[in-house]
Every structure is written in structure tokens, then in C-alpha cells.
Amino acid sequence: MSEAFFVLALVFVAGFGIGYGVRSQISIMRRARARRGITRTGP
């Protein structure tokens, strides 16, 4: 029981961390793009 709960909490924390990182990365990219005024889409 405790192992299942630990795994569930670990997955939840990992998913939350990844989602937060992606969100911050997207916001930073949007800010940089708006600041430069570049509309080109590329890597």
C-alpha cells in the first residue's frame, strides 16, 4: 500500500514539474519572440 502511494506521488510530482517547466519555457520563448519581433517559426 505504501509503495503504491509512493509511486503515485512520485509520478504526480514528476508530471507537475515537467508541466511547469514546459509552461515556463513557452512563456520565455513568447517573450523573446515578442521582444525581437521575429515571426519566423524554426528551431
CA distance 40 to 43: 10
Q: Which residue has cell 509511486?
A: 7
pLDDT value for 31: 86
pLDDT value for 19: 93
pLDDT value for 4: 94
Per-residue tens of pLDDT for the chain, all 43 residues: 799 999 999 999 999 999 999 999 999 988 887 776 655 555 5
